Copies of this chain bind each other. A is one copy, B any other.
């Protein structure tokens, strides 16, 4: 069953293939220019730092629904080991096994494909078991330090202590309303953080409710982001877009539009709760954001420990 015309119509309008040359592997991160970085830095007022990552632990957000996407297994490989003899300085080491998309993460540009293609017309089969992503791997991403803007849709639609219902499709109109409430215009090179409040289920101990049904970004929002030339988008859900899907039988269309058509990273499982409080307290919804990819060679995703500096 091919993807429907409704998808392809949007795809054409947001497509960035070739925009930064035939060899481009970083997509909309091209939009983070030195000037954008300087402007991002200029947003800092108080120096308040807000971390956005969930703890990396076995009791993470994954429930086993997605085979292979395992929560972090943290193990010790040495504990107070007096490797140089009794009474010497002792060392402790640890190791981890985890899915790169399991916790707070960026979806890399190879995380989804459609019609056999990746962003910038790379063949999907350029991703292999032995090498991972031959093109578009996360190790090639430039440093992600830019202006962040929080679009607190939960606050706008459900009040300052509220969150969106599981069936809430986040629309361009929601984004407009949140942007207006924020009093700042989203600009080229920004990373937009869309808060739904859904992560409160996980923080309250209910992983199942967190996973799905879930509110998420509408198939109509990629055009909104495209029009503003956003560098990347992240939110506080497991699925990013609606799940079950907004359009029956059309699965992961927003993933495909963002990653394949636009070449734009997506972030998931970002904890925006403290940030929402901080922004509300300071009545300021833009900030310096650092959200560095861990450079896994050939990686289709990467854990990220983002920080907002207000």
**A residues touching B (Cβ–Cβ < 8 Å)?**
1-3, 33-38, 41, 44, 46-51, 53-59, 64, 66-70, 72-81, 83-101, 110-114, 116, 124-125, 127-130, 132-133, 139, 142-143, 145, 251-253, 255-256, 288, 290, 292-301, 303, 305-307, 309
Contact = CB atoms under 8 A, between A and B. Distances in A.
B49 A38 contact: no
Contacts of A44: 37-38, 41
Contacts of A299: 56, 74, 94
A287 to B, nearest CB: 11
A187 to B, nearest CB: 15
A71 B109 CA distance: 24
Contacts of A110: 92
B129 A129 contact: yes
A48 B142 CA distance: 11
B74 A298 contact: yes
Contact of A300 (B59, B93, B116, B133): B93
A252 to B, nearest CB: 4
A3 B89 CA distance: 8
Contact of A1 (B85, B113, B133, B143): B85
A44 B3 CA distance: 46
Contact of A34 (B2, B48, B57, B59): B48
A295 to B, nearest CB: 5
B47 A33 contact: yes
B307 A53 contact: no
B88 A111 contact: no
B3 A81 contact: no
A145 to B, nearest CB: 6
Nearest to A260: B89
Contacts of A306: 292
Contacts of A142: 49, 51
B86 A1 contact: yes
Nearest to A63: B64
Nearest to A309: B145
Nearest to A296: B56
Nearest to A81: B130
A68 B232 CA distance: 32
B129 A89 contact: no
Contacts of A1: 85-88
B34 A127 contact: no
A255 B110 CA distance: 33
A290 B83 CA distance: 33
B41 A47 contact: yes
A295 B301 contact: no
Nearest to A77: B68
B99 A98 contact: no
User: Which of A50, A112, A125, A130 lies at the interface centre, i.e. has the most chain B CB atoms within 10 A of its CB?
Assistant: A130
22 contacts: A1-B88, A49-B143, A55-B139, A57-B296, A68-B73, A70-B95, A73-B97, A76-B132, A77-B129, A77-B130, A80-B127, A81-B130, A83-B251, A89-B112, A89-B251, A94-B99, A94-B101, A96-B98, A96-B100, A143-B307, A290-B292, A294-B294
